[in-house]
């Protein structure tokens, strides 16, 4: 039995964040983000960032870029940048509650983390 457990760990099946830990309720994720500001760290660069999730579905970041956000039927936070360096970039990302904050995952890897505050 111990060998099976080790095998699962080596395969990554028992990683700290697995699909079951992602927020998946569409209305819950929408309510969580709507009208909120996420202040955090983009992990690839270690840089601070701010995302503003307006109630009308618009999105603003700390560098002045504008976009739109929504939550898909899988409960993923989706965004499309309409201006700025990432103009045209669209993605749907997984959210996880983590250490009193929110972690953002892309393709199973944590790419950002932060805390939600009101406007």
Bridge partners (DSSP) of residue 92 are 78
The pLDDT value given to residue 71:
98
**How do residues 16-59 score in pLDDT, each as one tens digit?**
445 549 999 999 999 999 999 999 999 999 999 999 999 999 99
Residue 61: is its pLDDT beyond 80? yes
Is residue 2, in this structure, part of any structural domain at all? no
Which structure tokens are listed for 115?
């805390």
Tell me what pLDDT residue 18 has: 52
Full residue range of the structural domain in which residue 34 is found: 18-118
Do residues 94 and 22 touch, judged by C-beta distance below 8 A? yes
Chain mean pLDDT for the chain: 87
Looking only at the bridges linking them, the beta strands covering 36-42 and 47-53 are antiparallel
CATH number for 58: 2.40.128.640
Max intra-chain CA distance, the chain: 54
Residue with tokens 């805390």: 115
Q: Residue 54 and residue 65: Cα distance in Å, rounded?
A: 14
8-12, 14-18, 57-61, range with the lowest pLDDT? 8-12
Per the CB < 8 A criterion, the answer to whether 61 and 51 are in contact is yes
* Lookup: tokens for 32: 């969580």
Query: Is 34 in a helix, a strand, or coil?
Result: coil
Domains of the chain: total: 1
Residues 118, 52: Cα–Cα separation, whole Å: 9
Tokens of 55: 């109630």
How much is the average pLDDT of 94-115?
96
């Amino acid at each position: 039995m111990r060998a099976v457990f080790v095998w699962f760990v080596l395969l990554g099946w028992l990683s700290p964040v697995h699909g079951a830990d992602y927020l998946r309720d569409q209305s819950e994720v929408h309510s969580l983000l709507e009208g909120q500001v996420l202040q955090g760290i983009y992990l690839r660069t270690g840089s601070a960032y701010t995302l503003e999730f307006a109630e009308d579905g618009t999105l603003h970041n700390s560098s002045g870029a504008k976009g739109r956000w929504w939550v898909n039927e899988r409960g993923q936070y989706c965004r499309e940048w309409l201006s700025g360096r990432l103009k045209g970039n669209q993605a749907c990302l997984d959210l996880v509650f983590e250490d009193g904050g929110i972690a953002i995952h892309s393709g199973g890897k944590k790419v950002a983390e932060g805390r939600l505050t009101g406007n």
